[in-house]
């Protein structure tokens, strides 16, 4: 149940090994220091991301779900080196991102981009949409002349469903959904291969959310993009993703093909998460039996030494072993990984 060679076996079984992965994340860690005392010295650390490994094939979408504070956004940012990882390796197209110098990092950023959650906070309110997009092109040395860049700006706006007339407008003149389209256009400006979508539709109304989801899927199909899709909404993640990873307290606790994970969740946390979500499609039939989780997520400053989920785990078979030993993420069924040393919970009327 607990494999002795740890991480190695976890990486092997993650279901994306048949072709060369575009992204290979190995034991990624990001700890933030906690300052305290009158001298403001670092007294502790928050283990926001604590040993995350996965691979992503070209054209694939991996969904990353979990509750607030589980480290999913930090994972996305650490992969892109928007924040420096504390440990582990990230290989992008075979190249270790830690070894990139400044110029190489710039070249990497042309291939990997991010779309943020908050379309209000991530656009400069003083810049027109046109100048914002043109600046991206200029920084990356795209387009010989201003005329070339303007043509590309128009092309980008049309690609995301906006109009060329929007070029001269400011962010406040757009609705939330339109601003998210601008954020997507900005990410697409450099023709990336890989995009981290960090809660791209969470701030949007239902009807507008569906528009942006359709746009992201169309762009993936037309441009062959690879997505890391981070969200807390389980239905949205299932709809977007080929595979899904569930995070809890900085670790992946379960990872499988989307349909498999939603149909046969093996980790008690995934079970609870799925049963707690209100039925998004209220016509879908009877409510599944709820699994109640008591209490809150423990603090990532001093995470429990054994299974991170031990305190809240509803599994009837949890025991001393769970409390002492942290279970590793291992393959339980073909391409289905879970970090739980017990058999799946009985499915009472799920």
Partner 1 sequence: MPLLEVTDLRTYFTTDAGVARAVDGVSLQLEAGETLGIVGESGCGKTVMALSILGLIPSPPGEIVAGSSIRFNGEELLEVKPARLREIRGNEISMIFQEPMTSLNPVLTVGHQIEEVLRLHRGLKRREARAAGVALLAEVGISEPDQRYDSYPHQMSGGMLQRIMIAIALSCEPRLLIADEPTTALDVTIQAQILDLLVSLQQKHGMALLLITHDLGVVAEVCDRVVVMYGGQVVETGTTEEILSHPKHPYTQGLLASLPGIGDRDVRLNPIPGTVPSAVDWPEGCRFRDRCSFAWERCAESEPDLLPVVAGASRSARCWLVHPDESSIDRAGKPT
Residues forming the site for partner 1 (CB under 8 A)? 67-68, 175-178, 205-211, 213-214, 217, 232, 234-236, 238-239, 258-259, 262, 272-273, 275-284, 287, 290, 292-293, 295-296
DSSP-derived letter for residue 3 is -
**How far apart, in whole angstroms, are the C-alpha atoms of residue 88 and residue 50?**
10
Give the shortest CB-12-to-partner 1 separation in angstroms.
27
**How far apart, in whole angstroms, are the C-alpha atoms of residue 173 and residue 231?**
27
- Sign of torsion over alpha carbons 312, 318, 324, 328: negative
Note whether 171 and 129 are within 8 A (CB): yes
Give the shortest CB-181-to-partner 1 separation in angstroms.
11
3-class DSSP state for residue 256?
A: strand
Give the shortest CB-82-to-partner 1 separation in angstroms.
24
Spell out the residues 6+ positions from residue 153 whose beta carbon is closer than 8 angstroms to its own. Answer: 129, 130, 133, 134, 137, 167
DSSP-derived letter for residue 157 is H
In the bound state with partner 1, the residue whose beta carbon lies nearer, of 189 and 246, is 246
In the bound state with partner 1, the residue whose beta carbon lies nearer, of 26 and 74, is 74
In the bound state with partner 1, the residue whose beta carbon lies nearer, of 272 and 337, is 272
Give the shortest CB-304-to-partner 1 separation in angstroms.
17
25's tokens: 């994340």
38's tokens: 């009158």
In the bound state with partner 1, the residue whose beta carbon lies nearer, of 68 and 145, is 68
In the bound state with partner 1, the residue whose beta carbon lies nearer, of 2 and 276, is 276
Give the shortest CB-157-to-partner 1 separation in angstroms.
17
């Amino acid at each position: 149940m607990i494999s002795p060679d740890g991480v190695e076996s976890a990486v092997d079984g993650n279901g994306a090994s048949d072709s060369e992965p575009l992204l290979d994340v190995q034991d990624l860690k990001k700890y933030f220091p906690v300052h305290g005392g009158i001298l403001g010295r670092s007294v502790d650390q928050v283990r926001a991301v604590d040993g995350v490994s996965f691979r992503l094939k070209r054209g694939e979408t991996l969904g990353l779900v979990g509750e607030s504070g589980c480290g999913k956004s930090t994972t996305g940012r650490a992969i892109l080196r928007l924040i420096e990882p504390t440990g582990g390796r990230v290989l992008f197209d075979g190249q270790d991102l830690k070894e990139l110098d400044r110029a190489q990092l710039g070249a990497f950023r042309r291939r990997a981009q991010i779309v943020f959650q908050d379309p209000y906070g991530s656009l400069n309110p003083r810049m027109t949409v046109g100048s914002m997009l043109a600046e991206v092109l200029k920084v990356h040395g795209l387009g010989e002349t201003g005329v070339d860049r303007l043509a590309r700006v128009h092309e980008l706006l049309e690609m995301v469903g906006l109009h060329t007339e929007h070029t001269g407008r400011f962010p406040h003149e757009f609705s939330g959904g339109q601003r998210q389209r601008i954020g997507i256009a900005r990410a697409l400006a450099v023709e990336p291969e890989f995009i981290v979508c960090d809660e791209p539709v969470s701030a949007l109304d239902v009807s507008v959310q569906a528009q942006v989801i359709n746009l992201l899927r169309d762009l993936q199909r037309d441009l062959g993009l690879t997505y890391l899709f981070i969200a807390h909404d389980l239905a949205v993640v299932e709809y977007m993703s080929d595979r899904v990873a569930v995070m809890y307290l900085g670790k992946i606790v379960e990872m499988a093909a989307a349909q498999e994970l939603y149909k046969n969740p093996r980790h008690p946390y995934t079970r609870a998460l799925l049963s707690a979500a209100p039925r998004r499609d209220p016509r879908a039939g009877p409510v599944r039996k709820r699994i109640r989780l008591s209490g809150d997520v423990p603090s990532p400053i001093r995470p429990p030494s054994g299974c991170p989920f031990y305190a809240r785990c509803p599994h009837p078979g949890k025991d001393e072993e769970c409390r002492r030993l942290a279970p590793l993420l291992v393959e339980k069924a073909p391409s289905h990984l879970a970090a739980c040393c017990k058999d799946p919970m009985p499915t009472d009327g799920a």
